[in-house]
Amino acid sequence: MNTLKFLKMHGLGNDFVIVDARSSGREGGRRGEPFLNERRIRWIGDRHRGVGFDQLALIEASGDGDDADIRLSFFNADGSSAGACGNATRCVASLIAGELGRNEVSLRTPAGRLEATRLGDGRISVRMTAPELDWRAIPLAVECDTNEVPLDHEGLPRPVAVSMGNPHAVFFVDDVDLAERHGPALERHAMFPDGANIGFARVNGDGSIRLRVFERGAGLTLACGSGACAALVAAVRRGFSNGTARMILDGGELEITWNGKGPVIMTGPVARAFSGEIEFADMDDTEWDR
């Protein structure tokens, strides 16, 4: 029987299982496989048979010569890897800041080195990567202006495409609940070779932005940090925002800032839910693939 310790955290209800591989390790898996393989990640992510999460965040020691405090990688509930997860980054940043006894920490992620700050009010601010706006980098299936992607779907307006280390398409609409209806089909639309996070955004009269995001590999979530960053970038590009906005998500609010170039800054609360241990029995492939 193998045991895996974990911590459950969330940012505005966007929930994560966090595994610290610096202490628990990644080995000891079935038949010599890595301890966290795709089947086990899917099992942990199952909200009925496992723990349940929107993403799993894996903390590892930084490599020799790396200028980051830790390395961090992300996995979706379907077992696939994710290039970025803003709210999970903020959650882990709060842990590392507490561990190191300082307010400034750095994290090496698949999207690059990110810097995070623990503010006096307990919120965590992270400098996300600069957005990628070229169609090849997102990526899209065809060459186009990413500020108005030629994607015509059931009368929806054409979206803005942005990469925040993972691909996003943002639709500006009056009814953000369209995310529930259209998210599943658009997530795997042929325009997005690697799939995409699908955001539905409404710009309010006070400059705030109401947002719902159907996340690639996770579905509709209470909050999506990288999606909020992408939506603010899209709003700036369309001329709907001056560069700072209060993002209103199902689970709460984030503050996002982007000045038209360079990193996107995301600030918001994080919370610990509980810690626990998972015991993995020596199940056969059929059991793991449920």
Chunked in runs of 10, what are the mean pLDDT values of the chain (290 residues)? 88 96 54 68 93 96 90 94 93 98 96 95 96 98 98 97 97 98 97 97 98 95 97 98 98 97 97 92 49
Same domain, 253 and 188: yes
Rg (CA), the chain: 19
Residue 133 lies in a domain: no
What's residue 25's pLDDT? Answer: 46
Provide the CATH number for the domain around residue 210.
3.10.310.10
Side chain identity, residue 19: V
Residues 238 and 283 in one domain: no
Which DSSP symbol is given to 31? G
135 in any annotated domain: no
Looking at the fold, whether 8 and 118 belong to one and the same domain comes out as: yes
Decide if 175 is inside a domain: yes
For the chain, the domain total comes to 2
Strands 2-11 and 271-280: antiparallel
Of the candidates 175, 165, 183, the one whose C-alpha atom is nearest the C-alpha of residue 266 is: 165
Q: Is the pTM of this model over 0.85?
A: yes
Both 247 and 280 in one domain: the answer is: no
Catalytic positions: 85, 224
Whether residue 192 sits in one domain with residue 227: yes
Q: Is 130 part of a structural domain of the chain?
A: no
Range of the domain at 105: 2-124+271-288
